[in-house]
């Protein structure tokens, strides 16, 4: 869920095996995906390296307090797999969220990235998330003597994660875009999916979606908005320290972390062949290897939405927990920065995708080789018809065929 400084929240939504549930929890077997409502305005993320302080705020009210301990929250956000470690890993050190140093700002005590904010005598029972958020911000202003707006609270380079007490009316999580504040319902702030997703909104990213089925448009009014789970801007899970993944091709291009290995396609009827590596292998890429291809077909199709991003979804290392389409070439569209992306297709070796326009464009996967380091996918893009790619070679047997048992003879 995303808010602007003047916008109000929509309704939080959960998805359990395709069932949409609003303001309640219906228990069914299977993976629980975290979904939420989004509204907001655009923000652009700079590609240069950036280090920002983070303060995790435990909220104490006269009738309730954040249930996770200070030490456990510090571990979930900064030390185990969480906000700090995963942004560092996915960005290769270009986006650092570090725990704020121990210090006192006015009367607010920050200890190793953590702060308890006591809003007593106020209560939180039956109050909305935003009502409690406003109480917390007002108390921070009173303690620090510094404005605590959605864009600036404590310091210009500080991001704040508010963990609201469980007596608050239950919600999921939300963030401001652009902004420095994200807000979580109690233990939901422990989960890596929530942390990375919501702070991604602070950085300007919108949701990773998939188009609704035109034959069944009502099947996923909200779940489609979060349907691309290959990266953190799609749906997530109620789990500690997992999944370990990054962002899809469009979001990665927007963030600019792999900018030196971007490739912008220009029309070539004869075809242009590109070697792709996954984000997990960016550090070992060499030569002409690329991480993301951008194909802007808007002038050919007449649709502003037809900006295509092609990436190899290598499921290893920092992206081992990608939620779908492991080790395939993925194609998504995103009209511009701070716009939702839309999953289009996943391609295996020998498959191709046609973009209808004037001229048509073809994206063909010539090969996928996961036996090398780094693993590579070879892709050819053309503004003319491409012949089919050669079929994949059969995989060698994992072990030689068994020999017949030996026959022993003797006295």
Please tell me the total count of domains within the chain. 2
Asked if 174 and 308 sit in the same domain, the reply is: no
Question: What pLDDT, in 10s, does the model give residues 116-150?
Answer: 999 999 999 999 999 999 999 999 999 999 999 99
In the structure, what pLDDT confidence band is assigned to residue 42 with cuts at 50, 70 and 90?
A: very low
Asked if 285 and 144 sit in the same domain, the reply is: no
Mean pLDDT (the chain) is: 86
Asked if 89 and 197 sit in the same domain, the reply is: yes
Asked if 113 and 217 sit in the same domain, the reply is: yes
For 8-52, the DSSP string reads: -----EEEETTEEEESS----SSPEEEE--B--------SS-EEE
Q: Can the peptide bond before residue 235 be classed as cis, meaning omega within 30 degrees of 0? A: no
Q: Which domain holds residue 346?
A: 258-383
pLDDT at 185 over 50: yes
Residue 252 placed within a domain: no
Residue 80 placed within a domain: yes
Higher model confidence: residue 29 or residue 333? 333
pLDDT at 44 over 70: no
pLDDT winner (highest mean) among 103-112, 235-244, 265-274: 103-112
Residue 322 placed within a domain: yes
How far is residue 96's CA from residue 51's CA, in Å, rounded to a whole number?
5
Report the Cα 55 to chain-centroid distance in Å: 21
Residue 368 placed within a domain: yes
pLDDT at 134: 98
Residue 16 placed within a domain: no
Asked if 264 and 216 sit in the same domain, the reply is: no
Question: What pLDDT, in 10s, does the model give residues 270-291?
Answer: 899 999 999 999 999 999 999 9
Residue 315 placed within a domain: yes
Collect all residues with Cβ–Cβ distance below 8 Å to 52 and sequence separation of at least 6.
Answer: 96, 97, 98, 157, 158, 159
pLDDT at 222: 59
pLDDT winner (highest mean) among 32-36, 183-187, 336-340: 183-187
Residue 25 placed within a domain: no
Asked if 202 and 298 sit in the same domain, the reply is: no
What number is the average pLDDT over the span 373-380?
Answer: 98
pLDDT at 388: 74
């Amino acid at each position: 869920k995303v808010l602007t400084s003047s916008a109000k929240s929509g309704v939080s939504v959960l998805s359990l095996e395709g069932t949409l549930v609003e303001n309640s929890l219906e228990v069914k077997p299977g993976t629980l995906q975290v979904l939420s409502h989004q509204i907001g305005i655009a923000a652009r993320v700079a590609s240069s390296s950036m280090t920002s302080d983070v303060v995790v705020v435990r909220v104490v009210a006269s009738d309730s307090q954040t249930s996770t301990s200070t030490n456990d929250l510090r571990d979930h956000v900064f030390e185990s797999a969480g906000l700090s470690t995963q942004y560092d890993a996915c960005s290769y050190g270009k986006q650092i969220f570090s725990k704020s140093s121990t210090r006192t700002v006015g009367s607010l005590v920050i200890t190793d990235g953590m702060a308890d904010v006591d809003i007593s005598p106020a209560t939180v029972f039956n109050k909305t998330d935003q009502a409690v958020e406003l109480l917390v911000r007002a108390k921070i202003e009173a303690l620090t003597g510094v404005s605590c707006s959605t864009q600036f609270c404590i310091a210009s380079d500080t991001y704040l994660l508010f963990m609201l007490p469980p007596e608050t009316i239950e919600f999921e999580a939300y963030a401001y875009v652009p902004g420095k504040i994200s807000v979580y319902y109690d233990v939901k702030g422990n989960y890596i999916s929530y942390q990375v997703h919501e702070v991604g909104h602070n950085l300007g990213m919108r949701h990773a979606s998939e188009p609704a089925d035109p034959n069944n448009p009502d099947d996923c009014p909200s779940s489609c908005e979060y349907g691309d789970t290959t990266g953190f801007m799609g749906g997530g899970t109620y789990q500690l320290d997992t999944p370990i993944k990054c962002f899809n091709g469009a979001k990665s291009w927007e963030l600019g972390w792999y900018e030196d290995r971007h490739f912008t396609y220009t029309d070539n009827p004869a075809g242009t062949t590109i070697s792709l590596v996954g984000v997990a292998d960016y550090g070992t890429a060499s030569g002409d290897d690329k991480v993301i291809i951008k194909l802007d077909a808007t002038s050919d199709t007449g649709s502003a939405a037809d900006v295509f991003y092609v990436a190899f979804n290598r499921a290893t290392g920092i992206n081992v927990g990608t939620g779908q389409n492991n080790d395939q070439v993925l194609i998504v569209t995103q009209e511009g920065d701070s716009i939702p992306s839309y999953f289009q297709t996943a391609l295996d070796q020998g498959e191709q995708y046609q973009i209808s326009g004037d001229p048509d464009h073809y994206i063909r996967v010539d090969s996928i080789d996961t036996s090398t380091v780094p693993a590579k996918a070879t892709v050819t893009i053309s503004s003319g018809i491409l012949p089919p790619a050669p079929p994949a070679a059969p995989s060698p047997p994992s072990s030689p065929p068994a020999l017949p048992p030996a026959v022993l003879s003797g006295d």
